Structure 1
Amino acid sequence: MTSKVVVAGIGMIPFKKPGQSDTYPVMGAQAVRLALADAHVGYESVQQAFASYIFGDSTAGQRVLYDVGMTGIPVINVHNNCASGSSALYLARQAIASGEAEVVLAFGFEQMNPGALGDMYTDRPAPLELFQKACASVVPEGVAPALRLFGAAGQEHMKRFGTPLESFAKIRAKASRHAANNPFAVFRKVVSTEDVMADQVMWPGVMTRLMACPPTCGAAAVVLCSEDYAKKHGLDARVWIAGQALATDGPETFNSGDMRHLAGFGMSRAAARRVYEQAGIGAEDVNVVELHDCFAQNELLTYEALGLCPEGGAQKFIDDGDNTYGGRYVVNPSGGLLSKGHPIGATGLAQCYELVSQLRGTADQRQVEGARVALQHNVGIGGAAVVTMYRI
């Protein structure tokens, strides 16, 4: 990373259950205004904008911004499955790092329906058809599409390393304890490992309902700028992006026979390695992490993909408490997707909101003491994995 890109402003609204939120233009505009106010930047100073969402017609990003201002700037809509929010952030950072712009907005929103995700267009090949075929032999009938992929990946880890189902339940219980201190989380009730294990079975021996994140509605936004612009205009330049990488699937996804790669393990690991190389520091230097826990199974896999623990070492990592306060890292202090919910287009930017708050020391009861290096992981099947490192 040759020049510093600063996170000047962040904005987020509380996530809500489907049917209980405002419409996407209202939610999106609220988050954008909050980020601009936090940055102390007027919308007229923004030179480019990248909008993230997946459930909506084309140019929904413009529809949101027309309620904020109409300055004629380029607005690019980003649709990269569950990694859409971080993909928008990635493009915004690139625009500044390249010298194309000095102030760029990345924002995401989603107005979702209840229930499991499914294909929107049934008259053409589905983008995930290769993934579904690859795991079909190990998945029982009636399992929802996303659960198939992440359940199969978790089952692979269980078979390879003897990981018990209880490890995933411990992750969910940890998420609930963290979310109890997050006013933006939808689900703030603390649950125990035993509660998770006793919940409705979605896939016998592989997953209970509490191990899956729910769909929610919400929005988040981030204002990025160059370090020079921040200094010139007296903006808060403490938090900056020290490394960032976006990876897609490699040949191991379908060639290895390893179900973990269908859930993004390989591309997440590749992106993390590039980020550590860019930043010149490794996982051992990270203090706080927001990672993509759409399922408790994926959180466990991602510990290893990011190098937070050795491959096969996640069970010990969890049992030792190295994923929470008092341990080696604090993972998902926000409560993660498992507790906040997953308004897909907003998720990656909400992760950024949490980590910047942690580095600024403004995370209230969730504050990780002495946090100076933060790592973000956002993955979308089909596929995209974005890993971002922030420093102060």
Structure 2
Amino acid sequence: MTSKVVVAGVGMIPFSKPGKSDPYDVMGAEAARRALADAGVAYPAVQQSYVGFVYGDSTSGQKALYRLGQSGAPVINVNNNCSTGSSALWLAHQAVASGQAEVALALGFEQMNPGALGSVWSDRPDVLGAFAQVRDEVAGVPDPGAPPAATYFGAAGQAYVDEYGIDPATFAHITVKSRRHAAANPYAVFRAPLTVEEVLGSPHIYGPLTRFQCCPPTCGAAAAVLVSPEYARRHALRADVVIEAQSLVTDQPTTFEGDPRKLVGYDMTVAASRQVYEKSGIGPEDIGVVELHDCFTTNELLTYEALGLTPEGTAEKFVLDGANTYGGKVVTNPSGGLISKGHPLGATGLAQAAELVWQLRGQAEDRQVAGVDVALQHNLGLGGACVVTLYKKVDG
């Protein structure tokens, strides 16, 4: 296993509302082109490609990449719910780290429909059936009209409110911060500022969640080119950002022990981040910028603690003190995150990767976090999978 894997190039396209985007294959091809151009690598040099999407036919990855050419190299299609993009990145990282490939492409895209996520396959067992059973036993059976994902994350937020007695309005401050960050991001869908009053005054969804606290369905694509250090040297590629450590974990029995917070991946996040901290020798106190999975404001707040950015029970103070933004302890989601940038499921993890690579290179323009040399990424999918990745700036 090589000790480091170089992120030679990243690329993404501006995210858009459903119905406003190009078809998935056009979006995916363009994101891949941008990443390859950023890396200075021609597509025929790619030895393996991992392509993530959730809503699409099998071999949609080939459909997108064939727009770049038919090289004959393997294309592996990946679906791991909302952690799909980072799962593709994890596989590409493994391929290069193990020596199976010197150049690997991770690509993610999604062409989504308007409205809340729902099950496509009604003629077979629901993959979240066990999760729903626990949710219903603990939080009560939700109204049939409630968006399914919001019921899980809303119940998790309510459980936190009940334990620590925080003001539910705290969650709304996260959206305000998210919009403020997104205003500087040309790739983000929702860039207009919001006040706490406007967030709280938007339609109620479930638990403490209102509409402006929920990520929207979005279309988009993003990609990353990973290479070995030796390949980067031979071809004089930029090699100043590496994946220092990475972990992908799935659920353990604690997920189903009756705490809604565990249902939405709290323990997975704890486990994955601890593995990354142990592998890298870098702790949460060293992190200055993080892109984390803020599909709902409640999950962003929970994730502060799960990643160890602030002790358990202190997330409200973390938010209200501004520790999660510029001038604070750790700038969280400088891109605007899923809530404001958008959440095209297959692309999200790779969009997070692009943002953090730009941050470490000093290319984030008006979003730039000063003086960062390590960056943390967290991408979560119910069902479940959690990927945590630590990037580091090095001489290269």
What TM-score do the two structures reach when normalised by structure 2?
0.97
Matched residue, 2:208? 206
Cα deviation 1:76-105 (Å, max 9, x = unaligned): 001000000000000000001101000000
Percent sequence identity over matched residues?
61
Q: 1:38 is aligned with what amino acid?
A: D
Matched residue, 1:251? 253
Cα deviation 1:101-157 (Å, max 9, x = unaligned): 000000000000000001001011110111111111414313221011101111111
Q: Tell which deviates more after alignment, 19-28 or 128-137.
A: 128-137
Instruction: State how 1:352-391 maps to structure 2 within 5 Å.
Output: 352-391=353-392
Indicate whether 1:58 and 2:61 are aligned: no
Matched residue, 1:269? 270
* Structure 1, unpaired ranges of 5+: none
Which of 196, 201, 208 is residue 199 of structure 2 equivalent to? Answer: 196
How far apart are residue 7 of structure 1 and its match? Answer: 0.3
Q: 1:238 is aligned with what amino acid?
A: D
Q: Distance in 2 between matches of 1:210 and 1:319?
A: 18
Instruction: State how 1:155-170 maps to structure 2 within 5 Å.
Output: 155-170=158-173
How far apart are residue 37 of structure 1 and its match? Answer: 0.3
How far apart are residue 163 of structure 1 and its match? Answer: 2.0
Matched residue, 2:42? 42
3-state SS of the aligned residue for 2:244?
Answer: strand
How far apart are residue 199 of structure 1 and its match? Answer: 1.2
Q: Distance in 2 between matches of 1:359 and 1:388?
A: 14
3-state SS of the aligned residue for 1:268?
Answer: helix
Q: 2:127 is aligned with what amino acid?
A: P
Q: 2:34 is aligned with what amino acid?
A: L
Q: Distance in 2 between matches of 1:165 and 1:232?
A: 55
How far apart are residue 69 of structure 1 and its match? Answer: 1.2
Q: Tell which deviates more after alignment, 191-200 or 14-23.
A: 191-200
Indicate whether 1:312 and 2:293 are aligned: no
Matched residue, 2:80? 80
Matched residue, 2:241? 239
Q: Distance in 2 between matches of 1:391 and 1:62?
A: 31
Q: Distance in 1 between matches of 2:63 and 2:337?
A: 28
Cα deviation 1:325-355 (Å, max 9, x = unaligned): 0000000000000001110000000000000
Matched residue, 1:150? 153
Cα deviation 1:280-317 (Å, max 9, x = unaligned): 11000111000000000000010001000001110011
Instruction: State how 1:6-25 maps to structure 2 within 5 Å.
Output: 6-25=6-25
* Structure 2, unpaired ranges of 5+: none
How far apart are residue 2 of structure 1 and its match? Answer: 4.9
Cα deviation 1:220-240 (Å, max 9, x = unaligned): 000000011111111110000
What TM-score do the two structures reach when normalised by structure 1?
0.98
Q: Distance in 2 between matches of 1:391 and 1:193?
A: 35
Q: 2:23 is aligned with what amino acid?
A: T
Conserved in 1, the CA contact under 8 Å of 2:2 and 2:99? Answer: no
Cα deviation 1:15-69 (Å, max 9, x = unaligned): 0000000000100000000000000000011000000001000000011011111
3-state SS of the aligned residue for 2:247?
Answer: strand
Conserved in 2, the CA contact under 8 Å of 1:132 and 1:145? Answer: no
Indicate whether 1:349 and 2:350 are aligned: yes
Q: Distance in 2 between matches of 1:54 and 1:242?
A: 27
Q: 1:241 is aligned with what amino acid?
A: I
Conserved in 2, the CA contact under 8 Å of 1:165 and 1:206? Answer: yes
Q: 1:210 is aligned with what amino acid?
A: F
Q: Distance in 1 between matches of 2:197 and 2:331?
A: 22
Q: Distance in 1 between matches of 2:232 and 2:371?
A: 24
How far apart are residue 198 of structure 1 and its match? Answer: 1.3
Q: Distance in 2 between matches of 1:226 and 1:163?
A: 47
Conserved in 1, the CA contact under 8 Å of 2:291 and 2:377? Answer: yes
Conserved in 2, the CA contact under 8 Å of 1:59 and 1:77? Answer: yes
Instruction: State how 1:100-119 maps to structure 2 within 5 Å.
Output: 100-119=100-119
How far apart are residue 195 of structure 1 and its match? Answer: 1.2
Q: Distance in 1 between matches of 2:386 and 2:166?
A: 24
3-state SS of the aligned residue for 1:317?
Answer: helix
Q: Distance in 1 between matches of 2:223 and 2:2?
A: 25
Q: Distance in 2 between matches of 1:35 and 1:194?
A: 40
Q: Distance in 1 between matches of 2:323 and 2:255?
A: 29
3-state SS of the aligned residue for 2:329?
Answer: coil
Q: Distance in 1 between matches of 2:168 and 2:188?
A: 25
Matched residue, 1:26? 26
3-state SS of the aligned residue for 1:114?
Answer: coil
Q: Distance in 2 between matches of 1:240 and 1:219?
A: 22
Q: Distance in 2 between matches of 1:14 and 1:33?
A: 14
Q: Distance in 2 between matches of 1:132 and 1:246?
A: 23
